């Protein structure tokens, strides 16, 4: 790839860009590049998604502030189009792969979508700069390089977006760019300079970028596990985790995260597994953190069962409302939500289950109906709407007044309720 010609094509906005994978990562990137004046093609195997994007309709669950209107505009103005056809990659200057890299039932990387994408682009990749944004296990970029042309211009620039703030993250998060060669790293940086605002790009090699991305989420998983461990300690010893946490955090350099009913989402639940899949020796601390976080939905359900017992209600006679379906506060994203595991376990215990979530279509009716004649409610996500709920009034709707809070949303036990809170032994 001729570096000068490539830089000139960025400068003149004449570079043809194909983004493979129109999900949470690829679609915002395609829109942002089109918004900068590039001619962008979004490629996806899902015909419905391609159909929606090509007429400017926002196809994702995630509620985003600016992106749906931007999508409409760039499609109407002819800067962004969508297709299922890999032949679109012909003459592309840049091909950016943003497909999911989940784990399978054995917790090993499931690269079906990645290998399909690489196979699809292979014959067109000779003249292009190829960038992989998908999170990868260490040494995967090397495998991608082997599948493409010798001397391919390749970089791994792991995504750092999160739902609810996709465009903001894309523009303002510092980015790590792993160049397969030094030149590929520089060229990828030149591309990202077109979309970022007031932030830094750090160029390194592919392995460092792969480990760095997986570890930043493994780090967060361990931090959350530590907060969950503190919740267990406080519950056992009769203290209040929310107060202890606040006091610990007054010590400089400490930042205890928030305990909760488990870790959801598409990133934290699998990135540790991607990282350790490349290791010969087990990474014990990371594995313990995963085990702690994966056990949290069980603890949440145990609190419900304990509260029902205290209220003398048999689980088989109980209807329980789960407050939230989304895994993340203030969003409609339900991927890997602990709410689903809480539901499964409550049903297994014999309970009937209802959901209410002000952010998720299909579950956002109204809280009055959601709590009408139920025996218990459990808060699993700290949506801002739940902070101001008047439980004294809501209790009048319920058949029995049983409330479980796993997020520190309800600070005082409401009058007349059997109330249990994660991490509060008093």
Q: Is 2 a residue of the active site?
A: no
CB nearer ligand SAJ, residue 148 or residue 225: 225
36 binds ligand SAJ (CB under 6 A): no
Which of 98, 267, 270, 351 is flagged as catalytic?
267
Instruction: For ligand SAJ, give the closer residue by CB, 94 or 268.
Output: 268
The residue among 10, 42, 331, 363 whose CA lies nearest residue 161 is 331
- Candidates 37-45, 110-118, 123-131, 264-272; binding stretch for ligand SAJ (CB under 6 A): 264-272
For 414, which DSSP code? P
Asked if 172 and 198 count as a contact pair (C-beta separation under 8 A), the reply is yes
* Residue of 171, 193, 173 lying closest to 10 (CA atoms): 193
Backbone angle region of 339, left / alpha / beta, with phi > 0 → left and psi within -120 to 50 → alpha: alpha
User: Taking CB under 6 A as the rule, does residue 188 contact ligand SAJ?
Assistant: no
Which of 41-49, 144-152, 160-168, 204-212 is the region at the interface with ligand SAJ (rule: CB under 6 A)?
160-168
CB of 174 to ligand SAJ, least distance (A): 12
Q: Is the dihedral of CA 45, 47, 52, 58 positive or negative?
A: negative
Q: Does 265 bind ligand SAJ (CB under 6 A)?
A: yes
Q: Which one among 205, 216, 294, 302 touches ligand SAJ, defined by CB under 6 A?
A: 216
Q: Does 267 bind ligand SAJ (CB under 6 A)?
A: yes
CA atoms within 13 A on the CB side of 349: 25
Give the separation between CA 421 and CA 302, rounded to whole angstroms: 11
Q: What is the C-alpha to C-alpha distance for residues 334 and 318, in angstroms, rounded to an integer?
A: 25
Residue 214 lies near ligand SAJ (rule: CB under 6 A): no
The contacts of residue 73 (CB under 8 Å, 6+ apart) are: 35, 56
Smallest distance from ligand SAJ to CB 157, Å:
12
Which residue(s) pair with 131 in the sheet?
96, 155
Q: One symbol per residue from 308 to 327: x for binding ligand SAJ (CB under 6 A), - otherwise; what is it?
A: -------------------x
Q: Which of 28, 264, 358, 423 binds ligand SAJ (CB under 6 A)?
A: 264
E-only strand ranges, 295-399? 319-323, 352-356, 376-379
Identify the DSSP state of 413. Answer: P
- What would the two tokens of residue 379 be? 């808060």
160 binds ligand SAJ per the rule CB under 6 A:
yes
Q: For residue 152, which of 141, 160, 163 has the smallest C-alpha distance?
A: 141
The question of whether 267 is a catalytic residue gets the answer: yes
Which single residue brings its beta carbon nearest to ligand SAJ? 265
Select from 184-192, 235-243, 265-273, 356-364 the region that touches ligand SAJ (CB under 6 A): 265-273
- Asked if 26 touches ligand SAJ (CB under 6 A), the answer is no
CB-nearer residue toward ligand SAJ: 42 or 260: 260
- Select the span of 96-104, 125-133, 261-269, 281-289 touching ligand SAJ (CB under 6 A): 261-269
Rounded (5°) CA angle 341-344-347: 145
Kindly report the number of other CB atoms within 10 A of residue 341's CB atom.
20
State the catalytic residue, choosing from 213, 232, 270, 420. 213
Residues that bind ligand SAJ (CB under 6 A): 159-163, 216-217, 220, 224, 227, 257-258, 260, 263-265, 267-268, 327-328
Q: Which residues are catalytic?
A: 213, 267
């Amino acid at each position: 790839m001729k570096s000068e010609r490539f830089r000139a094509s960025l400068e003149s906005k004449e570079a043809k860009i194909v983004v493979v994978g129109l999900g949470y990562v690829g679609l915002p990137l395609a829109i942002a590049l089109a918004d900068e004046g590039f001619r962008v093609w979004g490629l996806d195997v899902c015909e419905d998604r391609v159909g929606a994007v090509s007429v400017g309709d926002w196809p994702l669950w995630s509620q985003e502030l600016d992106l749906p209107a931007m999508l409409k505009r760039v499609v109407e103005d002819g800067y962004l189009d969508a297709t299922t056809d890999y032949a679109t990659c012909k003459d592309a200057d840049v091909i950016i792969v943003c497909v999911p890299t989940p784990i399978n039932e054995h917790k090993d990387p499931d690269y079906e979508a990645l290998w399909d994408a690489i196979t699809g682009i292979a014959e067109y990749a000779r003249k292009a700069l190829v960038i992989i944004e998908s999170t990868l296990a260490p040494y995967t970029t090397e495998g991608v390089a082997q599948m493409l042309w010798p001397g391919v211009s390749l970089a791994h620039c792991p995504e750092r977006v999160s739902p609810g703030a996709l465009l903001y993250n894309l523009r303002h998060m510092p980015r790590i760019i792993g160049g397969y060669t030094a030149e590929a790293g520089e060229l990828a940086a030149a591309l990202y300079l077109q979309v970022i605002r007031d932030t830094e790009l750090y160029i390194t090699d592919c392995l460092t970028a792969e480990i760095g991305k997986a570890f930043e989420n493994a780090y967060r998983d361990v931090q959350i596990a530590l907060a969950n461990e503190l919740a267990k300690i406080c519950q056992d010893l009769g203290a209040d985790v929310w107060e202890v946490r606040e006091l610990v955090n007054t010590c400089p350099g400490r930042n205890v995260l928030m305990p909760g009913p488990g870790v959801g989402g598409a990133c934290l639940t699998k990135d540790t597994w991607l990282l350790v899949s490349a290791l010969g020796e087990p990474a014990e601390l990371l594995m313990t953190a995963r085990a702690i976080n994966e056990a949290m939905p069980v603890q949440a359900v145990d609190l419900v069962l304990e509260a029902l017992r205290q209220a003398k209600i048999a689980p088989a006679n109980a209807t329980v409302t789960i407050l939230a379906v989304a895994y993340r506060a203030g969003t409609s994203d339900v991927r890997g939500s602990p709410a689903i595991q809480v539901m499964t376990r409550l049903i297994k215990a014999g309970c009937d289950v209802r959901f209410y979530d002000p952010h998720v279509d299909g579950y956002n009716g109204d809280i009055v109906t959601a709590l009408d004649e139920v025996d218990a409610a459990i808060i699993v996500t700290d949506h801002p709407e739940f902070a101001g709920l008047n439980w004294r009034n809501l209790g009048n709707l319920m058949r029995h007044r049983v409330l479980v809070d796993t997020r520190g949303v309800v600070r005082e036990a409401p009058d007349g309720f059997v109330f249990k809170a994660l991490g509060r032994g008093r």
